[in-house]
A and B are shown apart, each in its own frame.
Chain A
Amino acid sequence: MAEPVLEIRDLKKSFGALKATDGVSLHLASGEIHALIGPNGAGKSTLIHQISGSLTPDSGKIRFLGQDIAGLDMAARARLGLARSFQTSSLAQEFSALRNVMLAVQARQGTSLRFFRPVMRDRSLTEPAMAMLERVGLAGRAHVPAAELSHGERRQLEIATALALGPKAFLLDEPMAGMGPEGAKNLTGFLDTLRQEAPILLVEHDMDAVFALADRVSVLVYGRIIATGDVDEIRNDPEVRRAYLGEPA
């Protein structure tokens, strides 16, 4: 097997007595969608934060594209090609949708210490950004400030900015959260095509989406992965049914 794009080995993180991440190992192979499911408080977001660099693990290894990224901050990891979306949208609220995506395009092109050329007249920024908004179906709202977008639109905008980074892997933290059934269905179709561009580590509560999309599923309970396998294996795993799907064994 080729080396995985992202590999996590024996990751541990405690908050006081709470073991939020308790020896987690998993990997993300190219071309796959690896879903991470688990009940509330299982430590899914904590894990994503450690991978993206906003939290420092107590111990364990994170390798991305064959490189140990433990010492890199969030911005440096993003520059390597690790794009993330946030559980609750995290956008530049006063900027329009277009300018949010342009920020990602600008970051991808290199240094931001450029002081003279106006960004709104820079077609090397506006055109790729507009193309990304078109891909997620947000082109008609390009000039609306992020703060004035609907919840679902902000989720789409998060995806568009992640796309604009031209990433080597996506970390998507509950992209469907708060979306209506129609929006969730559209986004499911969209993510399905996205795995060709870069593999996705997907944290999601929407089981329809997970079972429709995932090549592999890992189940996280109390900071530990209790099972990893394809959709059918997970559906039929008695321990998973007991711990998470809420059925008697």
Chain B
Amino acid sequence: MRKVVTREAIANGSLALLLLAVPFAAIAMDEPFYVTLATRIAILALAAVGLNIALGLGGLVSFGHAAFFGLGGYAAGILATHAFNAEPLLLGIPATTSMPVIWLVALVVCGLVALPIGAVSLRTSGVYFIMITLAFAQMIYYFAISWPAYGGQDGLSIYVRNSFPGVNTALPLPLFLICYGLLLLGLVLFWTLRNSRFGAALQAARQNPTRLAAVGIAPFNIRLTAFTVSAMITGLAGALFADLNRFTSPSMLSWHMSGELIVLIILGGRGRLFGPVAGAMLFVLFEFALGGITERWQLFLGLILLGVVLFARGGLMGFIAGRERHG
């Protein structure tokens, strides 16, 4: 085997520590706003880690992952609203404000929705796959807008942030640590999947589906599993995002959000373990720094994205950690 500590491992460790350090420094400097910013980075990174399984490892350019991000958000919002109003859900099931239960609901709902969407979408490929995932996500978006029970166009406020046993989630730092912890778990899961038999088949399906079929592995099942797991992780991030903002809105479901997640991955490095983290840091930094100067900050982001696509295909991780090698 090669060197144990690679350049990529150093880069990954540095990014992880940097993100962890920001909120502590912010608290020390009495600037709690930066804690929120770091939390936003962690959550968007987690959402992109999910998409990175489908897009990065499997080459499945889903332009509909906002559907899962939003569904996770609505899971948090709806459960919190019912619990706040002390109204049971359907069939008298009591609602809850417990984050772990909400996360579980978000994971299950997103898995159950992703399975049929994936099963239909994965019959196509290329541009058709992009369009069909977009179409499904927009269907869910318009459904949310036209459903007045949960806010419709106005969205849904979470009056009291959901709770986590033994933690005061109303404070910014504990909430950051919860999100950061889940991001690390998501990264461990991505890493484990990538190195497993499943990951080998999934990456082969991206590189050459004919090769995969020629050894006797049907690409469809592998891709469907990847798409579903990918959606579940993005959904979990959506639940956290709703709790961070104490607000769920249809915009979480819109195609802008899907595009944003793809941009994060391309900026950071497609298929790279820390690509989504690097991408989310860069994105939120631009959003904050350029957004303070001009309302047209997305124009500059677009130019940078153009630069990355044209000159640095590996994204930020490709730039700092070099090309990826597979065993």
Cβ distance B194 to chain A, nearest Cβ, rounded Å: 9
Produce 1/0 per residue, A60-103, CB < 8 A to B: 00000000000001111011000110100011111110111011
The contact of A91 among B193, B198, B208, B327, by CB within 8 Å, is: B208
Cα–Cα, bound, A75→B209 (Å): 10
B216 CB contacts on chain A under 8 angstroms: 75-76, 78-79, 107-108, 165
Query: Are B213's CB and A114's CB within 8 A?
Result: no
> Does B26 sit at the interface, judged by CB under 8 A?
no
Cα–Cα, bound, A95→B222 (Å): 18
> Does A150 sit at the interface, judged by CB under 8 A?
no
What is the interface of chain B mostly: helix, strand, loop, or mixed? Answer: helix
Please indicate which of the listed interface residues B200, B204, B208, B326 has the most CB atoms of chain A within 10 Å of its own CB. Answer: B200
B208 CB contacts on chain A under 8 angstroms: 90-93
B245 CB contacts on chain A under 8 angstroms: none
> Does B325 sit at the interface, judged by CB under 8 A?
yes
> Does A104 sit at the interface, judged by CB under 8 A?
yes
Query: Are B200's CB and A99's CB within 8 A?
Result: yes
Query: Are B197's CB and A94's CB within 8 A?
Result: no
Produce 1/0 per residue, A110-121, CB < 8 A to B: 001111111110
Query: Are A103's CB and B212's CB within 8 A?
Result: yes
> Does B192 sit at the interface, judged by CB under 8 A?
yes
> Does B125 sit at the interface, judged by CB under 8 A?
no
B327 CB contacts on chain A under 8 angstroms: 95-96, 98-99, 119-120, 143
> Does B298 sit at the interface, judged by CB under 8 A?
no
Cα–Cα, bound, A119→B326 (Å): 11
> Whose C-beta in chain B lies nearest to the C-beta of A105?
B215
Query: Are B212's CB and A145's CB within 8 A?
Result: no
The contact of B215 among A107, A115, A122, by CB within 8 Å, is: A107
Query: Are A93's CB and B207's CB within 8 A?
Result: yes
> Does B217 sit at the interface, judged by CB under 8 A?
yes
> Contact residue range for chain B?
20 to 34
> Whose C-beta in chain A lies nearest to the C-beta of B197?
A114
A78 CB contacts on chain B under 8 angstroms: 213-216
Cα–Cα, bound, A46→B270 (Å): 36
Cβ distance B269 to chain A, nearest Cβ, rounded Å: 14
Cβ distance A62 to chain B, nearest Cβ, rounded Å: 17
B198 CB contacts on chain A under 8 angstroms: 112-115
Q: A74-B213, A78-B215, A90-B214 are in contact. Are A116 and B201 (CB under 8 A)?
A: no
> Does B195 sit at the interface, judged by CB under 8 A?
yes
B215 CB contacts on chain A under 8 angstroms: 78, 103-104, 107-108, 161, 164-165
> Does A106 sit at the interface, judged by CB under 8 A?
yes
Query: Are B222's CB and A92's CB within 8 A?
Result: no
The contact of A112 among B197, B207, B214, by CB within 8 Å, is: B197
Query: Are B214's CB and A74's CB within 8 A?
Result: yes
Query: Are B221's CB and A113's CB within 8 A?
Result: yes
> Does A54 sit at the interface, judged by CB under 8 A?
yes
Binding site for A on B (CB under 8 A): 1, 192-193, 195-201, 203-204, 207-208, 210-219, 221-222, 225, 324-327
With A112-B200, A161-B214 given, can you name 11 additional A-B contacts, CB distance below 8 Å?
Answer: A54-B210, A54-B213, A83-B214, A90-B208, A92-B207, A98-B327, A99-B327, A103-B212, A103-B215, A112-B198, A114-B198
**6 contacts across the A-B interface (CB closer than 8 A):** A84-B214, A90-B211, A107-B217, A113-B197, A113-B198, A120-B195
3 closest pairs, A vs B, by CB?
Answer: A78-B216, A79-B216, A118-B195
